[in-house]
A and B are shown apart, each in its own frame.
Chain A
Amino acid sequence: MKKFLLRFNWISFLSTLALVAIGALVLASAGAARDSAVMAAKWKEMLWTAAFGLVLYFVLAFVDYRTVLNWLSVPSYMFSLILLVAVLAVGTAKFGGRRWLWFFQPSEISKLCIIAFLAQLFGGGEERFRGQYGFRGLLVAAVAAGVPCMLILLEPDLGTALTLIPAVLVMLLSAGVWRKGLVALLAVGCIGVAALLGAVHEAERPGVSPERRAAILRYVPLRSHQVSRVKTFLFPETDQMDSGYNLRQATMTIGSGGLMGKGYRRGESIRRRLLPPMGIMNDFIFCVWAEEMGYLKGSLVLLALFALLSVSTAWTAVVASDGRGRLVALGMATLVFAHVYVNIGMSIGLVPITGLPLPFLSLGRTFLVTVLCGLGLVQSVSLHREEKQ
């Protein structure tokens, strides 16, 4: 028992609990501001979901992660691929994307499945594959991560696909998969993104003729709403109605909270519908928290909790007994960080607007359960370690 208490990652667990509590608080406030009984009760629903997620968390924590990975990583990965295909075939469309299958979103589940699968592949879990992380390793990784990413992009859910990239990169870099090739690929990716941004900048810059704009955009592989989001990111001052409007409103809502906030349940952004009601409890939930609690009690506290969670999760990699545990910990830490950074960054103009949930705070039961399961798996890495002499 003493061993358990010592090995249990308390910082990760307690920050998780604190974030779950904050999630319930902010959803209760946001739900009450909308004149809808369904929305007002959402926070309870999320608490029950979190309770369910925590049960899975402990189940995964107490079972040896190696057993879990050996038994489940490959089947769950395959299963998630099937789900991703199924959602494209028979899924339900909501808010401009075909993301729902019955009551859950397969793309959220696949985030964890990909991490577990890559950890199993490159952490020494598969005997056949050990020591062959050269070009072939990269190729295997590209297929393993690329296929689900392509399926997710088809939904389309650019945000989810993009947050997977850093997690996958961190895992592959750490695992030592053909580093030169990886770095080269990363460089090509950066150049590609820069070229994309440059092209949109050139096309949308004020004073460009419509013909020239159309000619440039023909070579830009983005949908029109994505182009307009990138445009808003590049030129936030241009007053567009759609994405520019959301960015302006989000920044205004956050900024109006000031240092100390307006007080819990005193936020005005929802009551006055200053932010789109569809997004306020999902992608823009941070705005509600920042507005009501302010910079000190709201933003900084939340950032500190997420920082504690990410760093303590990453720390598990240091104490992990094997490569698989290390990769799972690094992957999950990066996944959480990427979500937090993109979600908060998009409402203050650091990142283009994209639909991505904030872990624990955004409505979305699938993602909540997924994150709790992932963190439970990391907790298992921490619990089932061999003491180093």
Chain B
Amino acid sequence: MKTDAPISAIVSFWLLTALFVVGFAALAVRLKEEQVDFAADHLRDMDSQSFRQVQTTGLRGRIFDRRGIPLAVNRLSRSIIVNPEAYRAKKKGETTETLLMAAVSELVPVIGRAPSVGENGIRRHLRQALARPLVVWRDVSDEELARFSERSLDFPGFDCAADAERLYPQGSVAAHLIGRVGRDRFPLASGDEKMNFVDKELCGREGLELQYDDYLRGMPGRERLLVDARGFASSRSVVVEPRNGFDLKLTIDLQLQRVAERQLRGWKGACVALDPRDGAVRVLASAPTFDPNDCVPIFRTEVYERYAKDPDKPLLNRATAGTYAPGSTYKPITALAGLRTGHSASEAYECIGAYEIGEMRIRCTRTWGHGELDLAHALRESCNPYFCALGVSSGTNAMVAVSRMFALGARTGIDFPTDAAGVVPDAAWKAAHSADPKWRLGDLAQMSIGQGQLLVTPLQMARVAAALGTGVMAVPHLNASLSPSLAPLPVPADHLAAVRRGMRLVVDGGTGKLAGEGVDAHVIGKTGTAQVGMGANLRKNTWFIAYAEPTATSRTQEPLAVAMIVENGESGGGTTAPMVAAVLRAFYNGEDER
């Protein structure tokens, strides 16, 4: 075997140097690629890895009645939070999850109640929002907080945080009107920078909280968190401060609202009162009611189920979403249709206790008949045959046209989420919606006395009362800063005067005489007793609509239009009229009904 001669030193050196040069050149070229060519990409990657954008929330705006009495405010809610960074795993076999869970379960006996977040919630938080504090106990009481403070030094990372929760200081008063809130995330659609975390914020679910949600919610803020590679936050900087929501001032008269709700207590029904001059809603009450504080901080399923399964439907806002047959409160409209088609207010009609058309027989409240009546007295006595005859004689077109002048069968345009349109039936409607598609004179006769397929909401009827009193149709509104939207009622003044004369008689000793009792105001009105159901299920929904103008001695100089309905009442005059009187007395006499 031949022995190789050693390579000479100089050749070894040059060969090796060549290898070094190639190696160092490869490193230099690769480093140039990363540090010069792709430097911008790497910097951007590093930033996106290092910063997290957080969308923060401002304080939700408050809601006040017309006098500044708070209906919805924010209260301080203290939570016990934990910063996961304090539970960074340090030893082998530890995880942040186990460390944090152990600390939480150690704290449970100190606080004295189970945490608001479950194990899965903790896990999810650590997975998705490691950089953010985790709320462990939401809405703690002062005692719980005191117990925590005594021991807080033993629990690093745990802290007390202040947050805002919604508070409805009036409890169940005006609950349907205010509505309720929930919590949700609203990532801003615009903006070039993606949000990594969006805080849950209060948001309207129903009522005014929903209607004015954007206005009340304000503008979210932005924070930047500096995070490490594991996702723990190391520092925080506010980029944009959140802007608090605007306060909302309502047209509602809370005192009057209370009176109306008190009147309705124990009943199912609704009451709406408007300023007839501009449509400002003073009362929007629905019974039975609920406590919106039950949905704070969360609307628990069992509480919601209890409300939802209640046969009295406390969550239904009967004032704007409840549709009822208007009954005799519709008769002023029939009267205007008659006057429009050439009938005279002084024209006499003989009531014989019933009205017959085809096979239909509509009975009068006074079975033996009212005898001869003019328009004013027919309204005073609420004579069914008179208005059946007048309506049939006026014809469907006139009836529908006048109903539409009062904006029945259409949404009122109120600034409120629920605004039922109701139904003004005619031949086309019946053909589309009824099993018996033919529009008969009997349907027209029923409609003339506010029965049949006709459906209205209490809000619509309050508007009818207001328009009858002023001759102006105003769009009802709840937000005090909205400018009124008015339109003249296209009805001749003498027609309106004739109807008002009859409505005055209703209160002056007529069917609704209880409505004016002790009220320091000029009140006109109309009763209504709508029959619904058949046989054993026959029930009466009793109405009263009123328009009042102040006297010289009244406490206030504002007119007021009221519509009130009570389900399963006795009669409009007997059941509902006294309730309306109580509302009017509270408004004009300054009586404290509370």
Residues of A at the B interface (CB closer than 8 Å) are: 131-135, 170, 173-179, 249, 251-259, 268-269, 271-275, 290, 294-295, 299-300, 303, 306-307, 310-311, 314-315, 317-318, 320, 323, 326, 330, 333-334, 337, 340-341, 344-345, 348-350
Known: A178-B1, A295-B32, A337-B23. A320 touches B228 (CB 8 A): no
Q: Are A174 and B12 closer than 8 Å at their CB atoms?
A: yes
- Nearest-neighbour CB distance to chain B for A376, whole angstroms, equals 20
B27 CB–A CB distance under 8 Å: yes
Q: Are B6 and A341 closer than 8 Å at their CB atoms?
A: no
**Of all chain A residues, which has the CB nearest B39?**
A258
Q: Which of B218-276 contact A (CB under 8 A)?
A: 226-230, 234
Q: Are B1 and A134 closer than 8 Å at their CB atoms?
A: yes
Contact of B30 among A173, A176, A258, A350 (CB under 8 A): A350
26 inter-chain pairs at a CB distance below 8 angstroms, sorted by A residue, are A134-B1, A135-B1, A175-B6, A255-B34, A256-B46, A257-B35, A258-B36, A268-B50, A269-B46, A271-B234, A272-B234, A274-B49, A274-B229, A275-B229, A290-B31, A294-B35, A295-B31, A295-B32, A303-B24, A303-B27, A310-B20, A314-B13, A318-B9, A318-B13, A326-B9, A330-B13
Contact of B13 among A255, A315, A344 (CB under 8 A): A315
B436 CB–A CB distance under 8 Å: no
- Nearest-neighbour CB distance to chain A for B380, whole angstroms, equals 85
Q: Are B230 and A176 closer than 8 Å at their CB atoms?
A: no
Alpha-carbon separation in the docked complex, A273 to B42 (Å)? 16
In the bound complex, residues from chain A placing their C-beta under 8 Å from that of B228 are 271-274
B10-42: CB near A (< 8 Å → 1, else 0) gives 101100110111011011101110111011111
In the bound complex, residues from chain A placing their C-beta under 8 Å from that of B21 are 307
Q: Are B20 and A132 closer than 8 Å at their CB atoms?
A: no
Alpha-carbon separation in the docked complex, A268 to B42 (Å)? 12
B73-105: CB near A (< 8 Å → 1, else 0) gives 000000000000000000000000000000000
Q: Are A299 and B9 closer than 8 Å at their CB atoms?
A: no
B427 CB–A CB distance under 8 Å: no
**Of all chain B residues, which has the CB nearest A133?**
B3
Alpha-carbon separation in the docked complex, A22 to B103 (Å)? 45
- Nearest-neighbour CB distance to chain A for B45, whole angstroms, equals 5
Contact of B12 among A251, A273, A317 (CB under 8 A): A317
Q: Are A255 and B230 closer than 8 Å at their CB atoms?
A: no
In the bound complex, residues from chain A placing their C-beta under 8 Å from that of B30 are 345, 348-350
B486 CB–A CB distance under 8 Å: no
Alpha-carbon separation in the docked complex, A341 to B20 (Å)? 9
Contact of A176 among B1, B6, B32, B229 (CB under 8 A): B6
**Of all chain B residues, which has the CB nearest A173?**
B7
Known: A131-B3, A134-B2, A249-B229. A314 touches B50 (CB 8 A): no
**Of all chain B residues, which has the CB nearest A273?**
B228
In the bound complex, residues from chain A placing their C-beta under 8 Å from that of B49 are 252, 272, 274
In the bound complex, residues from chain A placing their C-beta under 8 Å from that of B192 are none
- Nearest-neighbour CB distance to chain B for A69, whole angstroms, equals 17
Contact of B4 among A179, A253, A258 (CB under 8 A): A179
Q: Are A318 and B28 closer than 8 Å at their CB atoms?
A: no
In the bound complex, residues from chain B placing their C-beta under 8 Å from that of A170 are 12, 16
Given contacts A274-B229, A345-B27, 16 further A-B contacts (CB under 8 A): A173-B12, A252-B49, A254-B34, A254-B35, A255-B35, A256-B39, A256-B43, A269-B46, A272-B229, A273-B230, A299-B28, A317-B16, A330-B16, A348-B31, A349-B30, A350-B26
Alpha-carbon separation in the docked complex, A258 to B46 (Å)? 12
Alpha-carbon separation in the docked complex, A232 to B46 (Å)? 20
In the bound complex, residues from chain B placing their C-beta under 8 Å from that of A271 are 228, 234
Q: Are B10 and A333 closer than 8 Å at their CB atoms?
A: no
- Nearest-neighbour CB distance to chain B for A139, whole angstroms, equals 12
**Of all chain B residues, which has the CB nearest A333?**
B16
Q: Are A251 and B1 closer than 8 Å at their CB atoms?
A: no
Alpha-carbon separation in the docked complex, A323 to B229 (Å)? 52
Contact of B46 among A268, A314, A315 (CB under 8 A): A268
**Of all chain B residues, which has the CB nearest A254?**
B34
Q: Are A307 and B35 closer than 8 Å at their CB atoms?
A: no
Q: Are B27 and A341 closer than 8 Å at their CB atoms?
A: yes
B5 CB–A CB distance under 8 Å: yes
Q: Are B16 and A255 closer than 8 Å at their CB atoms?
A: no
**Of all chain A residues, which has the CB nearest B6?**
A176
- Nearest-neighbour CB distance to chain B for A118, whole angstroms, equals 13
Contact of B34 among A251, A300, A341 (CB under 8 A): A251
Q: Are B20 and A314 closer than 8 Å at their CB atoms?
A: yes
Alpha-carbon separation in the docked complex, A259 to B45 (Å)? 17
Q: Are A330 and B12 closer than 8 Å at their CB atoms?
A: yes
Alpha-carbon separation in the docked complex, A309 to B200 (Å)? 61
